[in-house]
Amino acid sequence: MNRQTLAQFDSDIFSIIEKERKRQEEGLEMIPSENFVSPAVLEALGSILTNKYSEGYVGNRYYGGCEFIDNVEQLAIDRARQLFGAEHVNVQPLSGAPANIAAYLAVLKPGDTILGMDLSHGGHLTHGSPVTHMANLFNFIRYKTNAQGVIDYDELRDMARRHKPKLVLVGYSAYSREIDYHIIKSIADETESMTMADVAHIAGLIAGGQMNNPVPLFDIVTTTTHKTLRGPRGGMIMCKEKWAKQIDKSVFPGFQGGPHEHNISAKAVAFKEALQPDFKVYAKQIMTNAKILEEELKKRDYTICFGQTDNHLLLINLANKGVTGKEAQIALDKAGITVNKNMVPDDPRSPMNPSGIRLGTPALTTRGMKEAEMRQIAAWLDTVIAHHANESVLAGVKKDIIALCQKYPLYV
């Protein structure tokens, strides 16, 4: 066995990791799907649990030597159930997209109709984008937001009546508004459809008591365990007990093999963190910070898609600023602000060079930044976008950002 440290044995990888650590420490991570995990989560993620195969489920494994693995996975399940009020939880999905796919395959047959949100209006690739394999397997009907930038529940009801979907799907990756799950449930009940919510982006805000919780209402709820939940990269499926066996069989052996128990242990740690009282304070501050950014950017004549934010993210249409999303992303990167280029509703531009950018506040809030910092960051965003081709301006902003970040160290 190689007993050298990473630095001793593989200086190439060690050096790259250290450069990435420096980038994270010295920059403003504003991609809304990114966050910083705690040292405890990192410790579990890098533990010796990575050595163990454990195909199957608690108390019913195909391999021996899983008594302690069972303890880890059961803790993760119990904590998730407590956190979200779930009847049944599967913590084995490797990420959000696999969780969604496993859920579809558990309860649907090829050709069944799913009513899901259009990608350019804030949905997710796995909600029916034509470029995905799932779009070839199921009949996705995609709904959009209306002229006011919100989901039109009356139109959604009409679409459900017309298309008779087997599954009504809600959730998003760029939509910044709250969802009325009771209305969605009533629409699904009327058309005898199942309900599924993908809360990958907002799971932490739900766990923190700041946003509506679909888990007690819906048949199936999927999520990632990173993003606002601030755990390791991974997925999870919660469902009513009536679907438990189908969900479990779909995840394993239907879709995945051996679960990654080191990752599941890190999920368990993150769930325990989310059960602490201070997590509610954190979740509330995420949303407060997002509202401050919204207010400050509106003052500077930025177009906020969907009218406003009710969560952790902002989707900004830059068409009136004379810059594309790609150009803005590149310039902001140079200045030390990480965002992602993003399509806006019915975007005339391509996904690789769209009209907008998507940004959020979870990672900034994890570092301890609050209202005053958001006001300064909004000013920097505006400066960079207005001078996106001026390298000296970008360098000056980056210097100021490094100074701010030194006041909010990460892993020290």
Mean residue pLDDT across the chain: 97
Query: 393 lies in which domain range?
Result: 279-405
Are 270 and 291 in the same domain?
Answer: no
Are 293 and 270 in the same domain?
Answer: no
Q: What is the CATH number of the domain that holds 263?
A: 3.40.640.10
The pLDDT value recorded for residue 157 is 97
The pLDDT value recorded for residue 408 is 98
Tokens of 410: 């990460």
Which among 255, 274, 293 is the end of a domain? 274
Which residue is listed with tokens 């989310």? 274
Q: What is the CATH number of the domain that holds 356?
A: 3.90.1150.10
pLDDT tens for 239-282 read: 999 999 999 999 999 999 999 999 999 999 999 999 999 999 99
Are 247 and 314 in the same domain?
Answer: no
Are 340 and 374 in the same domain?
Answer: yes
Are 138 and 174 in the same domain?
Answer: yes
Tokens of 289: 């910070």
Are 285 and 228 in the same domain?
Answer: no
Are 261 and 285 in the same domain?
Answer: no
* DSSP three-state, residue 64: coil
Domain count of the fold of the chain: 2
Of the chain, the percentage scoring pLDDT greater than 70 comes to 100
Are 192 and 326 in the same domain?
Answer: no
List the catalytic residues.
Answer: 53, 55, 198, 224, 227, 233
Tokens of 60: 């019913």
* Cα distance between residue 17 and residue 39, in whole Å: 16
Asked if the structure places residue 3 within a domain, the reply is: no
The pLDDT value recorded for residue 203 is 98
Asked if the structure places residue 17 within a domain, the reply is: no
Using 50 as the pLDDT threshold, list the residues of the chain that sit under it: none
Asked if the structure places residue 381 within a domain, the reply is: yes
- The H or E element spanning position 235 is strand 235-239
* Cα distance between residue 85 and residue 360, in whole Å: 27
Asked if the structure places residue 109 within a domain, the reply is: yes
Which among 251, 274, 297 is the end of a domain? 274
Are 154 and 227 in the same domain?
Answer: yes
The pLDDT value recorded for residue 125 is 87
Which among 274, 289, 306 is the end of a domain? 274
Are 223 and 283 in the same domain?
Answer: no
pLDDT tens for 64-123 read: 999 999 999 999 999 999 999 999 999 999 999 999 999 999 999 999 999 999 888 888
* Beta-carbon count within 10 A of 138 CB: 23
Asked if the structure places residue 28 within a domain, the reply is: no
Are 266 and 294 in the same domain?
Answer: no
